[in-house]
Amino acid sequence: MKSRVRKAGAVVVLVALVLVVLTGCYGTSTPKGWAGVNSIDDTLVFVSMTGKIYSVDSETGAVVGSPITLTKESSGGSFLSCGSSSVSIPVYPSPVIYESGDDQLAIIGGTDGRVYAFPFINGSLNANTKWEYPAKTMNTNIGSSIVGGLVLDNGVVYFSSALGQVYAIDAEYGDMNWSYDTDSQIWGSPVVADGVLYIGSYDNYLYAIDTETGELIWKYDAGGAIIAQPVVEDGIVYIGGYNREMHAVNTVSGQMVWKYPSGDKGDGDPENWFWTAAIVNDGILIAPNMDGNIYCLNATNGNLVSKVELDNPIMSTPVVVDGELLVATTNIAKSTSKLYAIDLDNYGKREVTSMNEAIKAQIYTDGGMVYIHTGSDNFYGINPANGSTQQFSLTGTDE
Amino acid sequence: MDIGAIWDLIILNPMINILVVLTKVLFSNVGLAIILLTIVIRGIMFPLQRRQMQSTRKMQELQPKLQELQKKYARDSQRLAQEQMALYKTAGVSPMGCLGPMVIQMPIWITLYQSIIRVLATSPEAMLNLSRHLYVSWPVVFDMVPLNSSFLWLDLGQADATMILPILVGVTMWVQQKMTTPMQADPKAQSQSQMMLYVMPAMFAMISMNVPSGLALYWFASNLIGVIMQYFVSGWGPLADTLKFLTRKGSNSGNGKQIIEKKPSSKK
């Protein structure tokens, strides 16, 4: 009997330990990433969750050249850590494409805190980087992950570190022009307009930074942490936050023009976060929310024009194709998603397609097609007119 | 509705939202919220915990008699089992008595653990996942998230690079275990219990080096509360043998019940 008790006790302790370790690994596992797609000429650039970068012919769907794999040495595979000696680098930002003369670069920011510029040679990416930031020889990184998106403007790449530094890097050679420390966590993407960079931070502020000097012009308290990318139109910068509010801010003065909802939140108001960027179309601010609705606001005064009710959270920025807004919703618990097309004239909706995979990455459109990187690490090309879907078969030996 | 959804609805979601609200109440300090929630839950669980502790203690007190029986009926396992059952019955002890409360408490501890992992949301995926656990009808939770993870010298979303917290986790776990681990007459059993006494704290200390320090803070707070509870139920116990200065204080305090098993030979 005593031995049975001991055995039972040992089993209970063992089960508890396994649960502790497993749930620990599950909950704190290294990020998976959800990079979107970009393209140059007829070549699509995909970055997978396993850190592989593919060049794909958009016509045939065939992989061009060999995929490139981003890897890093793990910190040592310490006891019970969830890593191994060499691990792939998850990537959140979509690649940006830089073209100057004969130079064509795909610039990618990784969760290893490094930015890589891969040159296109004969239509496919070459594994030998033209430059990296920080430089390869420095054998270091920027101190934290790159989660927010990269933005290319006038030959300069702008991005942020998760620890709150904003960087301006020369796209041709990878030299740093300036950096600005917000002293708070940043997971959002910047936007650049008229020589000013706007970026939201976890310290509740929207920052406006001079792209020439890297100096702060103003900062605006949005009343809640910000992860969404701001959008700028006609002298107003629009930003939504975790506090379920959308703010319109004057780009010159940094003062609020309006906010939605304007007073205390009530029935019909946003019930969840503004996670992803809004877009402005014909004087209407189209703001997707995690509550599964799209709030269409008058961009001038913030009045609600229409509310398009969808079924699940919206996590990826929508795109406009042929007068229709293409927006993806995802059931997070079930990892299923739907792609909708919203008629921007009457806000009528139609379901384009549905899939048993989550959509968190930014949707990309080119040539009337929509390209999606799903949470199951598959890439699809979808014709929004008829919903026909092509899954890209990504194979190839690493370079 | 699958079992995961039911688990979320009944146990996990309430605890996550309470943790966020507590953070708001406690000056936006998630560290204090973790400590307070651990105290509250351990307080609620105390009756069960006390039964477990008392049951363990009674079992320990029976050890000399059990060993006598083992010697006496070494060649008759059937008779040994009968005599052991008779002894348990006489003493009013259920050999599985300590397991019941432990099994009942386990889901609560796992839920608290999962709640802490989720509210700290160390990756964008985790943050998206958190969104589906928050109560839409509680505006305060949306005002608070993402939580500020700074606490003392720690970023609760990151492992403690100073190693202070992992060491505290290991030490408090060792103290708690030492208070309930009796000296065994059987050298083999003594060796096993000594091994467990060091292996478990060492293991948790090492796990604490690799997980967000918010979890390590929870383990530390839980261990500390466990030590206090154990003291009020059974005193310092065998810990007083190792830390002699506790013997005076422990035994003079009127609650320093020693649970040190006497060797069978001393009874002869």
Output the six-digit token pair for B98. Answer: 């300590």
Q: What is the pLDDT along chain A (399 residues), one digit of tens a residue?
A: 555 555 556 655 665 555 555 444 444 456 888 998 999 988 999 999 888 999 999 889 899 888 999 988 765 444 444 545 678 899 999 999 999 888 899 999 999 999 999 999 887 899 999 999 998 888 788 888 999 999 999 999 999 999 999 999 999 999 999 999 998 999 999 999 999 999 999 999 999 999 999 999 999 999 999 999 999 999 999 999 999 999 999 999 999 999 999 988 778 899 999 999 999 999 999 999 999 999 999 999 999 999 999 989 999 999 999 999 999 999 998 999 999 999 999 999 999 999 999 999 999 999 999 999 999 999 999 999 999 999 998 776 665
- Contacting residues of B for A34, CB less than 8 Å apart: 124
When CB atoms are compared, the residue of A1, A31, A227 closest to B85 is A1
- Rounded to the nearest 5 degrees, what angle is found at the Cα of A157, between the Cα atoms of A154 and A158? 110
Closest by CA to A356, choosing from A324, A380, A384, A326, is A380
Cβ neighbourhood burial of A325 (10 Å; 0-12, 13-18, 19+):
buried
DSSP 8-state assignment for residue A73: E
ipTM above 0.85, yes or no: yes
Which distant-in-sequence residues (6+ apart) come within 8 Å of B172 by Cβ?
B220, B223, B224, B226, B227
Cβ–Cβ under 8 Å, residues A299 and A341: no
User: How near does any CA of chain B get to the CA of A392, in Å?
Assistant: 24
The backbone region for A26, taken as left when phi is positive above 0, alpha when psi lies in -120 to 50, beta otherwise, is alpha
Element (H, E) at B70: helix B63-72
Name the β-bridge partners of B69.
none
- The answer to whether residue B105 neighbours chain A at the CB level (below 8 Å) is no
Phi (first) and psi of residue A63, to 5 degrees: -70, 130
- The answer to whether residue B74 neighbours chain A at the CB level (below 8 Å) is no
Closest by CA to A287, choosing from A158, A299, B51, is A299
Alpha-carbon span A86 to A83, nearest angstrom: 8
Contact A32 B99 (CB under 8 A): no
Q: What stretches in chain B show pLDDT beneath 70? A: 95-102, 182-187, 189, 244-268
When CB atoms are compared, the residue of A5, A12, A28 closest to B117 is A28
Closest by CA to A14, choosing from B136, B82, B128, B196, is B196
- Contacting residues of A for B128, CB less than 8 Å apart: 275, 313, 315, 332, 360
Cβ neighbourhood burial of B58 (10 Å; 0-12, 13-18, 19+):
middle
What is the side-by-side order of every strand in the sheet holding A165-170? A151-153, A156-160, A165-170, A176-181
- Contacting residues of A for B200, CB less than 8 Å apart: 13
User: How near does any CA of chain A get to the CA of B248, in Å?
Assistant: 33
CA distances from B165 to B173, B218, B227 (A): 12, 10, 17
- Contacting residues of B for A359, CB less than 8 Å apart: none
CA distances from A158 to A53, A109, A137, A161, A361 (A): 21, 11, 22, 11, 19
User: How near does any CA of chain B get to the CA of A367, in Å?
Assistant: 30
User: How near does any CA of chain B get to the CA of A364, in Å?
Assistant: 20
Contact B207 A80 (CB under 8 A): yes
Alpha-carbon span A28 to B210, nearest angstrom: 9
Contact B142 A5 (CB under 8 A): no
Contact B210 A92 (CB under 8 A): no
User: How near does any CA of chain B get to the CA of A188, in Å?
Assistant: 10
Signed CA dihedral, B210, B211, B213, B219: sign only: negative
Residue labelled with tokens 């020369």: A170
- The answer to whether residue A274 neighbours chain B at the CB level (below 8 Å) is no
- The answer to whether residue B131 neighbours chain A at the CB level (below 8 Å) is yes
Contact B122 A28 (CB under 8 A): yes
Contact A30 B98 (CB under 8 A): no
Q: Which of A20, A147, A274, A330 should be substituted to probe chain B, the one whose Cβ sees the most B Cβ atoms within 10 Å?
A: A20
How far separated are the first and last CA of chain A, in Å rounded? 62
Alpha-carbon span B225 to A238, nearest angstrom: 49
Task: Give the pLDDT confidence of B175-186 residue by residue, as tens digits.
Answer: 888 887 766 656
- The answer to whether residue B78 neighbours chain A at the CB level (below 8 Å) is no
Alpha-carbon span B179 to B239, nearest angstrom: 5
CA distances from A262 to A161, A230, A245, A300, B83 (A): 32, 19, 9, 14, 78
Closest by CA to A29, choosing from B129, B259, B10, is B129
Signed CA dihedral, B26, A199, A337, A320: sign only: positive
Signed CA dihedral, A4, A9, A15, A18: sign only: negative
CA distances from B133 to A100, A272, B12 (A): 47, 11, 8
Residue labelled with tokens 């065998």: B238
Listing DSSP states for B118-153 in one string gives HHH--SHHHHHHHHTTS-TT-HHHHHHPSPP-EETT
Residue of chain B whose alpha carbon sits nearest to that of A29: B123
Count other Cβ atoms within 10 Å, centred on residue A59: 9
Q: Where are any strands of DSSP class E within A27-114?
A: 37-40, 43-47, 52-57, 63-69, 71-73, 86-88, 96-100, 103-109
User: How near does any CA of chain B get to the CA of A5, in Å?
Assistant: 6
Contact B128 A360 (CB under 8 A): yes
- Contacting residues of B for A242, CB less than 8 Å apart: 142, 145-146
When CB atoms are compared, the residue of A26, A147, A242 closest to B146 is A242
Name the β-bridge partners of B226.
none
Alpha-carbon span B185 to B265, nearest angstrom: 9
- The answer to whether residue A313 neighbours chain B at the CB level (below 8 Å) is yes
Distance from the Cα of residue B78 to its chain's centroid: 35
Output the six-digit token pair for A347. Answer: 């806000």
Q: Mean pLDDT in chain B? A: 81
Single-letter residue type at A21:
V
- Contacting residues of A for B114, CB less than 8 Å apart: 23, 27
Cβ neighbourhood burial of B78 (10 Å; 0-12, 13-18, 19+):
exposed
SS3 of B155-182: the string is ECCCCCCCCHHHHHHHHHHHHHHHHHCC
Alpha-carbon span A239 to A234, nearest angstrom: 14
Closest by CA to B35, choosing from B165, B137, B161, is B165
Residue labelled with tokens 């920025």: A317
| pLDDT the model gives residue A76 | 47
CA distances from A153 to A168, A196, A230, B79 (A): 10, 11, 15, 87
Cβ–Cβ under 8 Å, residues A315 and A276: yes
Output the six-digit token pair for A242. Answer: 């975790």
When CB atoms are compared, the residue of B109, B117, B207 closest to A27 is B117
